[in-house]
Amino acid sequence: AQSVAQPEDQVNVAEGNPLTVKCTYSVSGNPYLFWYVQYPNRGLQFLLKYITGDNLVKGSYGFEAEFNKSQTSFHLKKPSALVSDSALYFCAVRDMNSGYSTLTFGKGTMLLVSP
Amino acid sequence: DAMVIQNPRYQVTQFGKPVTLSCSQTLNHNVMYWYQQKSSQAPKLLFHYYDKDFNNEADTPDNFQSRRPNTSFCFLDIRSPGLGDAAMYLCATSSDGTSGGLTSTDTQYFGPGTRLTVL
């Protein structure tokens, strides 16, 4: 079975400071990993994904994520946070070796960026 | 622009009164998904269509049904809504290139959601 853990319900950061939103995963095979962002009363917007290759993945709006196989982590990062980054962030995983699997989401982390 | 569209954005229904939510896409994706999302929780997959093949999650209540008359449209029918069915319903699509199974890496693209209120 595949699973995702987002250990923080909420992350608070001041505008201009770097931010990290944590994600760890568990799959039996190799993972496909995704980050989505959700603004209030909106659907999920795709930010970035890791399939294979370079462990540092760059995505939309200046976000990036680092895949760490030994720590089974895929933390989302941004060098300088903006107030407009405040939203709910979901990490998701898919097991590429399962032959048939859908996306499993973490419970989400609320990011609050203060001015 | 190619996109995933959900109608209506807000739906109010009465307890026990059937309701249908609509999703359409211009991405020509072969897979369509319906998720239920309750307040600030992770989206919960209800079912998905791989082309015309319907795949129901084991814990999806019988009260929820779906139809996909063609590639572009997918409907979520709630036969007798209860108060516990009040939630945001999200439609998503993806393009999966492996016949008979979801093994593609392609991203799921979500619509804006329909917020359902049950009175």
Q: What is the mean pLDDT of chain A?
A: 91
Residue partners of A54: CB distance under 8 A and separation at least 6: none
Is the pLDDT assigned to residue A38 strictly greater than 50? yes
Work out the minimum CA distance from B62 to partner chain A, whole angstroms. 20
B112 to A42: CB separation less than 8 angstroms, yes or no: yes
Work out the minimum CA distance from A14 to partner chain B, whole angstroms. 22
Q: Half-sphere exposure (CA, 13 Å, Cβ side) for A55?
A: 10
- Tell me, what's the pLDDT at B99? 46
A105 to B43: CB separation less than 8 angstroms, yes or no: yes
Higher pLDDT, A102 or A97: A102
Residue of B nearest to A49 (CA): B107
Place of tokens 């699509």: B93
Give the least confident one: A30-44, A54-68, B54-68, B85-99.
Answer: B85-99
Higher pLDDT, A2 or B1: A2
The three-state secondary structure class of A104 is: strand
Average pLDDT over residues A81-92: 96
Note which residues in 17-76 of chain B have CB less than 8 A from chain A.
Answer: 33, 40-43, 45, 48
Higher pLDDT, A71 or A99: A71
Residue partners of A70: CB distance under 8 A and separation at least 6: none
Residue of B nearest to A32 (CA): B105
B109 to A108: CB separation less than 8 angstroms, yes or no: no
Work out the minimum CA distance from B119 to partner chain A, whole angstroms. 19
Work out the minimum CA distance from B61 to partner chain A, whole angstroms. 19
Chain A residues whose CB is inside 8 A of the B103 CB are: 96, 99-100
| Best mutation target, B102, B115, B116, to test chain A (most A CBs within 10 A) | B102
**Residue A44 · residue A36 · CB < 8 Å:** yes
Higher pLDDT, A40 or B105: A40
pLDDT, tens digit, 9 for 90 and up, residues B28-71: 898 999 999 998 789 999 999 988 999 888 899 999 999 999 99
B41 to A107: CB separation less than 8 angstroms, yes or no: yes
Determine what percent of chain A is predicted with pLDDT higher than 90: 75
d(CA B95, CA A105): 19
- Tell me, what's the pLDDT at A40? 87
Residue spans of beta strands (DSSP E) within chain B: 4-7, 10-13, 19-25, 31-37, 44-50, 53-56, 64-67, 73-78, 87-94, 109-110, 114-118
- Tell me, what's the pLDDT at B97? 60
- Tell me, what's the pLDDT at B2? 61
Average pLDDT over residues A65-78: 96
- Tell me, what's the pLDDT at B100? 45
- Tell me, what's the pLDDT at B101? 46
Average pLDDT over residues B78-105: 80
